[in-house]
Every structure is written in C-alpha cells, then in structure tokens.
Structure 1
Amino acid sequence: MTVHGTCDPRFSQVAEEFEANLAQHGEVGASVCVIVGGEVAVDLWGGQAAPGVPWADDTIGHVWSCTKGATSLCAHMLAARGDLDLDAPVIRYWPEYGARGKGGTLVRHLLAHQAGLPALREPLPPGAFYDWKLMTGRLAEQEPFWEPGTRHGYHALTFGYLVGEIVRRVSGRSLGTFFREEVAEPLGLDFWIGLPEEREDRVADPATSSRVADSATSSRVAPTIPADPPEAPPSFYLKAFSDPSSMSALVLAHEGGYMALGESDSRAAHAAEIGAVGAITNARGLAGMYRPLSLGGGDLVSREHLALMAQTASAGTDAVLLAPTHFALGFMKSVDNRHLPQPDSEGALMSDTAFGHVGMGGSVGFCDPAARLAFGYTMNKQFAGLGINPRGQALVDATYRALGYRQAYGGIWYATGD
C-alpha cells in the first residue's frame, strides 16, 4: 500500500492519517488533496484502483453526492451573473413545473432540499435515470410530498434533475456541458458530469470488505454492498426497509434501476449527466473545484455571492434522512450526529464557515473561505453511512489541526489564532 504524491511538512499529520488508513483502517484505494491559500499543500494517492492495479495519479472514481456541489456551483454562477434569480419562482424558467400545487416553489427551495420532491411517487421504467427529458417531465407533473418551503428533506437522487433543469433552461446548455465549459475546463479539472468513453479505463473499481485488495487474480467486479456494515443501519435505511410507503423507501425503489447491483458503475451510468450522484473525479478535482471559492470566488462568483453560498438555508431533522441535516443553498454545512443511536453521518465535521458536499460511502469536497482552504477526498471502499467515512473525517481533522484550529462542542472546528 505505497503512498505517492507530495505533502508540505506542515501537513504531515494528514499524510500520517492517510498512510494509517491504508495500513490499518481498511482503505483500499484513495486520494486526498488539500489546497491552502491557493497553493497545493497535500496531493496524495495510494492503494489499489482495482485488484492488482495501483491507484495512479490520474485515477478517478465515482463520487456520488459530491456531484451536488458541482451542480449547485453551476446554478450559483448563473445567479452571480444576474441570469438567475434564486428568489424567483421556478415557473419563471420552467413553466411546466407549476403543475399540482408547485407554482409557488422558488429556485432556492430546489437548492435547499425544500421542494417536496425527494422521490417519485410511481415506479420508473428501467434506465429512466439516463433519460433527462423523462425525468424532468415526471418531476414537473408530480405533486409535492409537502408544501414547498415549509420543511426540508434530502433530495438524494432528484436534486440533479431539478437544479440541473434550471441550469439548462437558463444557460441553453446541458448541465454536464455547462460544468465542463464553465468550470472544469477553465480550471483544468479532471472532473466530469458525463464521462467521455476514452476516460473510462481510468475509473477505479468500487471495493467492499469482502474483496481482497491485493489479489492480482481477481477480475473487475461491480459493487455488492457498502463496506463494513454497522451494527445498526442509519435511520434512512431503517425506515426504507421497514415502511415501503415511506419517502425513504420511494427514494430507493423508484429510480429506474440505477441503485441496482452494479448499475451505477456501468458505462451507461458514467456517461449520463446525473447531477445528483453521477460525477467522476478524484481528490484533486474536488479540491480544485473549491479552490476559487476558498479564495473569495475567483472568476466563478463574486465575493458577495460567495457569502450567500455559505449561509444556512435549512436545518433540523430531515424529512427523508430522519436525522439532523444542515444545508446552505445546494451545499452541506457541518453537522454532528455522533450522539445518535444509529450511525447517521450525513455530513462532515468542518468549521462553521465551511461548505461543500459529501458523497455516499465517504467521499467529500468542501471549501472554507475563512481558512482559505479547499479539500477533497475520494476512495473506492465505501462506508455504510450516507456521509463522510471515518477515514475521510480523520483527514479533515488532521487538516484543521495543521491550520491551528481546535474542535468545539458539537464537532465544529474553530480558529484559535496564532
């Protein structure tokens, strides 16, 4: 489990934790990147991308809901330019969306998980997640589960179609095209919402605890279940498996087969522009996307708009995840659920000025403008929770410690000064 890359001596604790994850904590393959003040302080990778295949400097992987941060950034860029009003009704840009009592839904409700459409009420045909027109049409005609704006519940799989359709309607480009042309290419990022086929051979295999990381004879296989299942699953899964009529259950059941064994790792899934959960990148890509935001917005958004992006938009018990969540407009904020009986970990422990997004199984990308910090972590062994895994949190914690931060009650990291 050789580790490669570079690390500023100031952040040696990050390297130590990264090495320990691979040697002692079951990490299979991973990458971590820390950018401070615009300069790369940590850029490490190691382990295996597939059985017998080392994780290379250009290995990329599926980062699940870290995608939501990229999709949200696209919407905020349009808003910062004056092309999109976040306080306007959705029907200003998407007239068909006003059906069945949704005429009062605001754009900000889509970003803050307050739209009331966390799932489809009816089953979807196989492959529906690859059909943008079908998905946006179904969502436009559906009745919300609650009055938009009155509560929040994680739109795990629908978020990308809702916010992405706004991006498409306003910009005239598909979500993946807008992200590529306006974010990834200008910043030089290996980050895709819709992966080109010629890059498919660099995508890391998913890994579970049942796989032998150093087996050179194993074939490339699809994922089975998240690694290291806990003694009690998160509240979301408990509800989904015990109440088939619940919103939690419908999130998993009405998705056209995307969550079926191996489907999310298929070529069709990687090629599709799935703005909630479909992005392919690595730690360098995640941190690189957040780098301009860590420095005041750069060419992406104004400093004034950046402040809006960091503000809390919804918080409290999540109607879908059934645990506390804390959202800005499209981004996650720090939330500490370690006291709960179930291992609900739908966020990451950061400072109160940070915002970003975790991905199911453990990946995370975020920025902390007060600390001038951009951070990314990706891996191919999934944790059973819906948020950052303990391996990734150890890297975040080591980063904040290196910056002179201390952890307060509730897990929030805060600056103590020199």
Structure 2
Amino acid sequence: MTQEIHGTVADGFEAVRAEFAALVAAERPDYEGQLTAYVHGRRVVDLWAGNDPDSLYGVYSSTKGAAHLVVALLVQEGTLELDRKVTYYWPEFGSEGKGSLTLRDLLAHRAGLVGTDTGFSAAELADDRLIAERLADQRPFWRPGTAFGYHALVIGALTGEVVRRATGRTLQEVYEERIRAPYGLDFFLGLPAAHEPRFRTVQPMLPTAEQQALLDASPQGPHTLASIAFNTHTAEPTDLALLPNRPEIRAKGPASVGGVASARGLAGLYAAAVSEIDGKAPLLKEDTAAEFGQFHSVGYDLVARAHKSYGLGFQATADTWHPFLGAGAFGHSGAGGSQAFADPRSGLAYGYTRRRNAFPGGAAPENAGLAAAVHRAALAV
C-alpha cells in the first residue's frame, strides 16, 4: 500500500508534488521521506510521506554543510583567514610534514589526513577533540596540498579544532548559538535528550541481487585509502550505515557525520545562508558564498577513485550532482540518501531526507528528479 502524501506546495510548484508522489508510489510500502525547498527565503515546498514533518533523521555527511557554514561565518568576520597556515591556530598540527598546509587547503580535502594508521573505535568517532588530537600526530597519506581525497569521517574534527583554537568554543557551540537557535532549525549537531523521541532509527539498505553483485565485484581492500577514510581497516570496522543509531553519535554531533535533521532543517539552513528570512539578512554575504562555493578541488579524488568537485568544506553541487544548477551552487549529501544545497543564482535552498539508506550511498538517486523539478519551478515563478 503506497504511503499517503502530506504537506503543501506553493502555486507553480505542483510538478514537484507530482514528482514526489511518483517517487513514493515506486518505493517500498514502508517508505519514509521528506522534501522541503525555499526560494528567496520563502518556503515553497513542504512534503512528507510515512512520517511527519517533525521526524528527525541521521543525515551523515550532510552534517558537513552545517559545520562549514560556521567556518564561512568566521572567515567572513575575520576570525579565521583562509590562507593562514593551520599551525597559526593549531601549532601541534605541524608534525610529520603538515606545517605548510593552509586552512583553505584543509577545507578543500587536500590535507592527506583521511584517517589514522590504527583507526578509531565507534566511541572515538563521536569525539571530535580526540580525532583531532590523533590526526595531529598522523603522517599524511599524500603530500599536503598536492592532491585531494574525501576526508569522510574526520574533516569536521579537523576544521572544528581550528574553530576551537580561534574562538575558545567548539564548532558545535558556535553553530548552536549563531545558526541553529536563532533560526529555530531542526538540524542539530548534538541532539538534546528532549528531542530524542523525534529521532527515527536508520533502516539499513537492503540491496537487490543485482546491487549485491556490484558490491561483491568491487571489494574494498583492507589497507586502501578508502578503507582508512571510512575506518573499515580496523579489527572492528565501522558500519557507516548504522552510525546515527548510536546514542553517543547523536548526543555529541561530530561535525563530519553526526548531524540529526529534518528536511525542513536542511533546507532552512541553506535558506538562512543565502536569503533574507523573517527580516534577518542572509548569514553569508555574496562574496563569501561565492568563495566557499567556488571550485577548489576538481578531478580525481584519491579516496573515491572517481571524479569529484569540492568547494571549501562543501561539495560543488552543480558539478558533483546536478549540472542544471547555477555556477557556485554549494551543499552536501549524506550516505543515507539525504541532500541539501543552496543555489544562490536562483535563490533556491533544498533539503531531502529519507529513513532507509540509499544504494550505493550518498545522495539518493531520486534527488536528481526532485531537485530538477524544484529548480524548474523556481526559475518559472
């Protein structure tokens, strides 16, 4: 039995509702998902099925968008400088040949510190301070600044330590005080106990026979950069799919993967970043948004072993996912299927969540059709 569609769309966005309804009809009967979009600060899409709009989900690497909006704000204000060496803020970082790396290169996944030789326990992955301390002593896996690779589980700990050294506050504290609380966003980096009943546990991906054959045909070696980056080279390999189900991950909100959000929270974050909302000016000035969305690492990603594009802490969304978006669109996807981004040229802010993990990880395939439908409508209004 197909789930019922709930919510509203503004005039001109009826095709988005039809696209969402077609997705729900084609999915499993237990589908749970949410879709929200803003245009120039006005919410124009607010849809859900199999849940309610207040349900919260683990959003994996979509967390990186919230974390690096904090960094963008601090750069905009002059607290951080992109072309300062990381050691200016964090002297211990300079060991093992890392002393010349700039904050700009760190944000662009160019540090060569995708993990450690010995890896992390599940409890350690919840603790950004501990991750940063371990990585400060780690020899990089490539010469810093010469190449790039996705720092999947650690980038937020690295940039977060720079934030802490520069401000005396954790990245999570700055996010709560400057972004989440003022806008009332349902996007938490550290889920308060009072909101735990709203969290929906992750339902693991159940691959089809064809999908399982693809997985079996491309096994991950025990000592590759990918295995180190995703912490599967340890005696107790990380099950990335189930990380949000761990209470310590939700409670501490590690800035790489620990965020908990609804689609309203995801889209609201990017709407606040680039648009006026409720009389509040955009968090980012146009020049700041342009710099953080500008291509910084483009080409062969040493971890993903594929073409990828990154801005500063964000994915370059138009190149990585949706080529119809305007130049300078920025955002981040998550392993469970979530995606969120801002397209400053059209004023679009987009957020999507789902409960069951997508195959093979990253933005769920349906984001392509949903985002295209929203973008077409946004340009037409």
Whether these two folds match at TM > 0.5 is yes
Matches within 5 A, 1:200-349: 200-207=196-203, 223=204, 225=205, 227-228=207-208, 230=211, 233=214, 241-252=219-230, 253=232, 258-259=238-239, 262-295=242-275, 298-334=281-317, 347-349=321-323
Q: Is 1:355 aligned to residue 335 of structure 2?
A: no
In the alignment, residue 259 of structure 2 is paired with which amino acid? A
1:205 Cα shift? 2.5
The residue number in structure 2 matching 1:413 is none
Measured at CA, do residues 133 and 293 of structure 1 come closer, stay the same or move farther in structure 2, by a change above 3 Å? closer
Shift of 1:365: 0.5
Superposition deviation, residue 148 in structure 1: 1.1
Matching residue's letter, 2:370: L
Per the alignment, in what secondary structure is the counterpart of residue 183 of structure 1? helix
CA shift at 1:124, angstroms?
Answer: 2.7
Q: TM-score, normalised by structure 2?
A: 0.91
Structure 1-normalised TM-score?
Answer: 0.83
What is the aligned counterpart of 2:342 among 367, 383, 401? 367
The answer to whether the Cα contact below 8 Å between 1:63 and 1:363 also exists between their aligned partners in 2 is yes
Give the corresponding residue for 1:24: 26
CA distance in 2, matches of 1:361, 1:65: 9
Match of 2:60 in 1: 64
Secondary structure at 2:141 match in 1: coil
Give 1:388 deviation, angstroms: 1.5
Displacement over 6 Å in runs of 4+: none
Instruction: Report how far residue 32 of structure 1 moved.
Output: 0.6
- Post-superposition offset of 1:56: 1.2
- Would you say the 8 A contact 1:333–1:348 is kept in 2? no
> Aligned to 1:34, what secondary structure does the other structure show?
strand
Once the two structures are TM-superposed, the CA of residue 263 in structure 1 deviates from its matched residue by 4.5
For the 8 Å contact 1:263–1:269, the answer to whether it is kept is: yes
Aligned-pair identity (%): 36
Q: Contact 2:318–2:328 at 8 Å: present in 1 too?
A: no
In structure 2, the residue matched to 1:75 is 71
Structure 2 distance, partners of 1:260, 1:111, is 22
- SS of corresponding position for 1:137: helix
Secondary structure of 1:85 counterpart: coil
Q: Could you report, residue by residue, the CA deviation over 1:221-268 in whole angstroms, capped at 9, with x for unpaired residues?
A: xx3x4655736647xx976x3421111112232577652674531212
Which piece of structure 1 moves more, 149-158 or 169-178?
169-178
| Partner residue in 2 for 1:14 | 16
- Which residue is 1:411 aligned to? none
- Cα deviations across residues 311-345 of structure 1 (Å, max 9, x unaligned)? 11110011000111011111111366xxxxxxxxx
Aligned length: 371
Q: Which amino acid aligns with 1:319?
A: L
> Shift of the alpha carbon at 1:9?
2.8
Distance 1:328 1:273 in 2: 23
* Backbone CA RMSD of aligned residues: 2.3
Amino acid at match of 2:26: Q
The gaps in structure 1 that reach 5 residues or longer are: 48-54, 208-222, 337-345, 406-417
The counterpart of 1:120, out of the listed 108, 116, 123, is: 116
Distance 1:238 1:73 in 2: 38
Please state whether the residue corresponding to 2:227 is helix, strand or coil.
Answer: helix
Residue 383 in structure 1 maps to residue 379 in structure 2: no
SS, match of residue 7 in structure 2: strand
Whole-Å separation in 1 of the counterparts to 2:213 and 2:372: 25
Matched, 1:400 2:375: yes
- Whether the aligned pair in 1 keeps the contact of 2:223 and 2:233 (CA below 8 Å) is no
**179 and 104 in structure 1: CA distance in 2 versus 1, 3 angstrom threshold:** same
1:39 has 2:14 as partner? no
Cα shift at 1:404: 4.1
CA contact (8 A) 2:64 2:156 kept: yes
**Distance between the aligned counterparts of 2:324 and 2:200, measured in 1?**
27
Asked if structure 2 preserves the Cα contact closer than 8 Å seen for 1:161 and 1:274, the reply is: yes
Which one is further off, 197-206 or 63-72? 197-206
**Structure 2, gaps ≥5 residues long:** none
State the distance in 2 between where 1:260 and 1:320 align. 16
Tell me the residue number matched to 2:137.
141
For residue 230 of structure 1, give the secondary structure of its aligned residue in structure 2: helix
Matched-pair contact (CA < 8 Å) for 2:73–2:284 = yes
Amino acid at match of 1:19: A
Query: What SS class does the counterpart of residue 13 from structure 2 fall into?
Result: helix
